[in-house]
Amino acid sequence: MPDLTDKQTFSDEDALDFHREPTPGKISMAPTKPMATQRDLSLAYSPGVAVPVLAIAKDADKAYDYTSKGNLVAVISNGTAILGLGNLGHMASKPVMEGKSVLFKRFADVDSFDVEVKTTDPEEFVTVVKNIGDTWGGINLEDIKSPECFQIEADLQDLLDIPVFHDDQHGTAIISTAGLINACHILGKKLEDVKVVLAGAGAAGLSSIGLMKAAGVRQENTVIVDRDGVVYKGRDHVDQWKAAHATDTHLRTLEEAMVGADVVIGLAAKGAITKEMVASMAPNPIIFAMANPDPEITPEDVLSVRSDAIIATGRSDYANQVNNVLAFPYLFRGALDVRARRVNHEMKVACAQALAALAREDVPDEVAAAYRGRKLKFGRDYIIPTPFDPRLIWFIPPFVAQAAMDSGVARKPIEDMDAYRAALRRRLDPSAALMQTISGAVRAAPNKRVVFAEGEETAVIRAAWGFKQAELGTPILIGREELIRKNAAEVGLNFDDMGIDIVNARVSDRNEEYTDWLYAKLQRRGYLRRDVQRMINQDRNYFAAAMCARGQADCMVTGVTRNFNMVLKEVRRVLDVKDRMIGMSILLAKGRTLFVADTSIHELPNAEELAEIAIQAADTVRKLGKTPRVAFLSYSTFGNPPGDRGEKVREAIRILDQRGVDFEYEGEMPPELALDPEARAAYPFMRLTGHANVLVMPAIHSAAISTRLVQSLGGATVIGPLLVGLEKSVQIVSLSASVSEIITAATFAAYEDGAGGED
């Protein structure tokens, strides 16, 4: 095996263990239909399967409707060019092909499996794939050596009526083109003016220069260099694919070609580019050294001679990684969703342009978390999105789908692109569907003024900006204006263009008004006026809550710098409870949305409090557009085994019976009875008509532990706990909450204030 690079973080044995344990390989199959009863088996196989068989026999396109074809991609290789390791045979390529299948699923929810073809003969390879190709909605060719890969892809594109895409060529081409677009944007250069040198005229290199030309680079401004030197017109022994990119030039070596060049695209080998070559380039050179695992020249060597360079590599331990996972999952996602007949130049250019556009957007905290807290913003060290950017799934495929539709290769055009983006969000993020409903209601309602109490914190500033950009309301930041502007500038945000209000509590012209009002409220609770003056002057939670109470704001978000209980005590001194205050968490798992109460307020609720929690939770869930079905959870099942906590739950049920509430409820019961109606055969008296969606816990510890346990095990997404029941809507996030979490809390605050339904 090749030696590990200096920056590698695992050993050979680590890699082998990863692929061996606990189950060999990286993929398995999971059925999409239940196989629990005889009827299920009859529908899935004989005799029920005959019905779709006959339908497809009449119309082959029905396979998209009745089978997995429409979301299925084959990853096919013969192992002749495995990850730069060379021709190691078709079976040696299987770990790579399985890995590719995993990436398809992880990043774009595309089902995939690998096919290793035992032949090195291009014609035989084409024949095999042609004869099995209709099985899939698309084919991803992988690790096939050049120049055979060009002919194989071209032949299969002609023979099959589905997308055929050689990722080693086009994936790199798409990402490097996106990077070039943004590097030129930063430097103020135009694509049609830059002089580009390609070092390495293999599959990825030729495809990259071809796509860059399609994006705007001029043919006469390019020079192609292979191991024998410059590919110029008239050179002997040049294959047809290189000859297509040959230019009239007197240059003969890479060293000569790089003199005065604006861009060098390296897809050759370690050491192919020297410091002297880099030093000879034009001002502000763009250097993409993408050989793996070691680039043609390291970023350290480039910067030692050219501090003005923009650099990209193929490695994750340097800035600006050209990683194909940014392209192929989303390209196929868009192609499959319009049932495209092929992947054409228009779709690849659209993908590159979309990636370039996304890199110019503000970067969410989820990305920083995936990259060990490294903060990213558009600039010389961030010209390409990172693979763990959660926006890729809904941002990129619509551009690809639209290009397929515009270029006439789509069988099934998308009529509502906004609805398509919404559906893409739901594919990987279980909270997206609910948040979309809530965000839509907030946007449609009268504009809400949301106070971000800890306005000097960078995460809060970015959240306020994101909230404003999403048109969810008007953010108000509490803090010192000079410091807020300074912190905003450090993350690349220009407040002059943002329209966000900044209020300094100490110098506000409402300071005295708030002090007088709060003193009147607290004077008989042991507070002197100077105490209240200090609270309003120096504590942003008091000031923000007073803004809400006095009508200068509608709701507030806080909690980034203080723990929940401390913040709640401060807010409660200013704002009163309407009926009953509870904490409720939203748990999204396995296609279900569950609401769990009380997760933050009542430590050991009595029967009356349990009934009130259920009423408040049901009312909140109804405002969120759901029909509440409440289950009171317990270790016991309708009195068995007996105990004090179970008796409190039974008393809560009796209280609700007497009140005649207008929602379904039942208890006490364990989780399996609440969530699975089929498990209730022994309890025919149960009143729930379906699975419960509101779970009332017997105590705060059981609520908090259960939600956090499920979240920690990776089985669910948890939102909250959300605070419900104050006279003005306040959401308290966790210490050091992410930007996304703060925006979510602000959105819920605006929603609970009245955007989501009737009070």
Looking at residue 684, its amino acid is P
For 652, what's the count of Cα atoms within 13 Å in the CB-facing half-sphere? 30
Contacts of 663 (CB under 8 A, 6+ apart): 618, 622, 627, 628, 629, 630
Contact 283, 289 (CB under 8 A): no
In angstroms, the CA 59 to CA 80 distance is 37
Helix 345-359 and helix 328-337, axial crossing angle in degrees, nearest 10: 120
> Shortest CA distance to 298 belongs to which of 282, 329, 319?
319
Q: Which of 45, 190, 275, 569 is catalytic?
A: 45
Distances from the Cα of 678 to the Cα of 40, 266, 595, 688, angstroms: 16, 61, 21, 12
CA 82 and chain centroid, separation:
29
Q: Burial, 178: exposed, middle or buried (Cβ in 10 Å; 0-12, 13-18, 19+)?
A: buried
Length of the chain (residues): 759
Asked if 45 is an active-site residue, the reply is yes
Contact 633, 667 (CB under 8 A): yes
Contacts of 7 (CB under 8 A, 6+ apart): 315, 317
The sign one gets for the Cα dihedral 301, 314, 142, 94 is: positive
Asked if 100 is an active-site residue, the reply is yes
- Tokens found for residue 102: 């995993």
Contact 511, 536 (CB under 8 A): yes
SS3 content of the chain, % helix, strand, coil (to 5): 45, 15, 40
- H helix or E strand, kind and range, residue 256: helix 254-257
In angstroms, the CA 86 to CA 88 distance is 6
Rounded to 5 degrees, what angle do the CA atoms 276, 253, 301 make?
A: 25
Provide the 8-state DSSP code for 535. Answer: H
Q: Is 119 helix (H, G, I), strand (E, B) or coil?
A: coil
Q: Which of 69, 100, 348, 728 is catalytic?
A: 100
- Which residues pair with residue 164 across a beta bridge? 139
- Tokens found for residue 224: 């192609």
Contact 638, 669 (CB under 8 A): yes
**Helical ranges in 371-447 per DSSP H:** 392-395, 397-406, 417-428, 432-444
Contact 142, 93 (CB under 8 A): yes
- Tokens found for residue 446: 């009268």
> Shortest CA distance to 688 belongs to which of 673, 710, 704?
673
Distances from the Cα of 323 to the Cα of 100, 173, 290, 355, 718, angstroms: 13, 10, 10, 12, 30
Q: Is 213 helix (H, G, I), strand (E, B) or coil?
A: helix
What is the maximum span of the chain, computed from C-alpha positions, in angstroms?
98
In angstroms, the CA 198 to CA 267 distance is 8
Contacts of 522 (CB under 8 A, 6+ apart): 532, 573
Looking at residue 562, its amino acid is R
Distances from the Cα of 153 to the Cα of 72, 124, 221, 327, 393, angstroms: 19, 13, 28, 18, 26
| Count of C-beta atoms within a 10 Å radius of residue 284 | 17
CA 206 and chain centroid, separation:
31
- Tokens found for residue 642: 């007996």
Peptide bond connecting 482 to the previous residue in cis, omega within 30 degrees of 0: no
> Shortest CA distance to 471 belongs to which of 494, 489, 453, 448?
448
Catalytic residues: 45, 100
